[in-house]
Homo-oligomer: A and B are copies of this chain.
Amino acid sequence: MRTEIASLGKFGLISRLTDHLRTNNSSTIKGMGDDAAVLEYSKKDVLITTDLLLEGIHFDLTYVALKLLGYKAAVSGFSDIYAMNGHPKQLTVSVGLSKRFSVEDLEEFYSGIEYACERYGVDIIGGDISSSLTGLTIGITCVGEADKDKIVYRDRAKNTDLICVSGDLGSAYMGLQLLEREKAVHTGEKDFSPDFAGKEYLLERQLRPEARKNIIEMLTETHIVPTSMIDISDGLASELLHICKQSKVGCVIYEERIPIDYQTAMMAEQFNLNLTTVALNGGDDYELLFTVPLTLHDKIQTLEGIHLIGHIVNEEEGANLVTRDKTQIPLTAQGWTKTEE
């Protein structure tokens, strides 16, 4: 079944996509349906982040289902709010789409957004829909709340602080490599459904990532306020260099301490890729990188899913990686040049 978008018109389409939406957060006074949404943040500070996602640059609809794309787009916004030690509360979703897409396609995309919003307790409060000459364009703006004295910035890491990272790294990047390889192998085939048995974790990390709400909750429960924090969307090296540059400090991290999943390691070997490079520079991890005072050393080690990978040093000492054979080499960011340059 395919309903043409033109058959509904702009306002009919908005109505079909959003009439059933309800808002649940007390900070949402007015969601959809006016010139602007109205929020009340009298007791907390407001966090706001925005992302633009373009077809062919940030996603490839050959192997990404629209529902998953919606889910990931929303989650990437939530991740930025968690990286400030806040909680996402509202989301706006703007979409530009060509005639290739039907009303049902758009409903599928929105269902992914909605599912993410339900799971994370976020209200959809507005957006924009327009036609586009080519492909799909997505604009996401996420609003969150934080206690003024608990907000964590990038620029306040201090000498001797411990460097921590959640989860494991490089898996989303290996998932992408896997999808790209299968796409190349199956080029021209109409139903693209390769066998990914045993590699589900890598695919899930790439196609259906989660933001680390549980890490932020755990930090709150254990009364830990990091000195600096950032989410790892462009790769560990790039994000750590952001923290160092903005905090005017250096760092030392240890190759052997970088958390890497077994499937990531297996796949990197298959692809003949350097595993550390994958973990340092692979994108889309949505993990949290943060620093805490040295005095929290013992406490941090008891936290599940948090890995201590190094420490902050003076700016003059630079940013360095200590390899498995104890050689110290400068940390450099390759970024995720494929998608971001």
Contact = CB atoms under 8 A, between A and B. Distances in A.
A48 B37 contact: yes
A221 B116 CA distance: 44
Interface stretch (A91-99, A170-178, A200-208): A91-99
B96 A57 contact: yes
A57 B132 contact: yes
A96 B134 CA distance: 13
Interface string A136-155: 01010111101010010111
A6 B38 contact: no
Interface in A67-113: 80-81, 83-84, 86, 90, 92, 94-96
Nearest to A81: B36
A48 to B, nearest CB: 5
Given A54-B132, A54-B137, A132-B57, A144 B95 contact: no
Contacts of A84: 34-36, 38
Given A86-B36, A96-B137, A132-B57, A48 B341 contact: no
Interface in A223-241: 229-231
Contacts of A339: 130
Contact of A48 (B125, B148, B151): B125
Contacts of A38: 45-47, 84, 146, 151
B50 A127 contact: yes
A121 interface: no
Contact of A36 (B9, B80, B133, B155): B80
A214 B125 CA distance: 28
Contact of A10 (B43, B58, B80, B340): B340
A126 B35 contact: no
Nearest to A30: B153
- Report which residue of A10, A142, A146 has the largest number of chain B beta carbons within 10 angstroms of its beta carbon: A10
B33 A49 contact: no
A24 interface: no
Given A38-B146, A39-B45, A57-B132, 4 more contacts: A35-B80, A36-B48, A39-B41, A137-B137
9 contacts: A10-B340, A36-B47, A40-B46, A48-B125, A51-B128, A56-B133, A57-B130, A57-B133, A139-B139
Task: Return the 7 tightest CB-CB contacts between A and B, nearest first.
Answer: A139-B139, A35-B83, A36-B49, A52-B94, A39-B46, A36-B47, A35-B80
